[in-house]
Amino acid sequence: MQLGPVIHSKDAESCGLGKSYLERLFECVYYESGDENYATKLLRNYRCHAAILKLPSRLFYKNELIACKEEKASTIYDSVGLPNKAFPVLFIGIQGYDEREGSNPSWFNRIEASKVIEIAKKLMRNTDIDETAIGIITPYRRQVLKLRKAFELLEMPDLKVGSVEQFQGQEKQIIIISTIRSTVKHNEFDRMHSLGFLSNPRRFNVAITRARSLVIVVGNLHIIAKVLLILLTTIV
């Protein structure tokens, strides 16, 4: 239920190679039914805080995942003003602007980027973590490049910034998600072309499960609420 292989050949994709071998296997009746003679499920999750794991477990894994991560006292929750320390998911609303440079098809949001940088600096100033503990996920390459350049100028080159695909199989203590979109007019375009982490259930699953201790989502509340409602409807 996470991202599959990246396919560049249309012929290969039409022959079914856009799906992983494991996914194709689970379309067979004995594997699909969960027959214990054919499939063993790895249900214990040692990465995520239990509250972070709860939503993906319900949406994608039939509520079967078991959170086994040991929680330790941390100062990171105080540094960002987390309202409920038992629920380490924080949304920071901001009204930015969708921008592009010339004919470049990739989008960025400089106001949102500034907020992401502010959060990262605050986390490192007020806690005992360093830049390697923070990962920033953003769906558009132009925003990735803008943020990378900014952190290099701030002499923070070890803070990883990348797309959802670049974070699959990885984890960080803290994940900051920059959603970019600030207007509804591009939502249909994103959905048709499977852009952004809210337009694709698998990309959404990967994005929200990379953090061990804290997820911070930065974006426009009204836009995200509309897109997320459509996404969740397609899943459930």
Low-confidence ranges of the chain (pLDDT < 50): none
Per-residue pLDDT, 150: 96
Q: So where are the chain's domains?
A: 1-40, 72-235
Class for the domain spanning 72-235: alpha beta
For 130-167, the pLDDT digits (tens) are 999 999 999 889 999 999 999 999 999 999 999 999 99
> Structure pTM?
0.90
SS (H, E, C) the chain: CCCCCCCCCHHHHHHHHCCCHHHHHCCCHHHHCCCCCCCCCCCEECCCCHHHHHHHHHHHCCCCCEECCCCCCCCHHHHCCCCCCCCCEEEEECCCCCECCCCCCCCECHHHHHHHHHHHHHHHHHCCCCHHHEEEECCCHHHHHHHHHHHHHCCCCCCEEECHHHHCCCCEEEEEEECCCCCHHHHHHHHHCCCCCCCCHHHHHHHHCCEEEEEEEEECHHHHHHHHHHHHHHHC
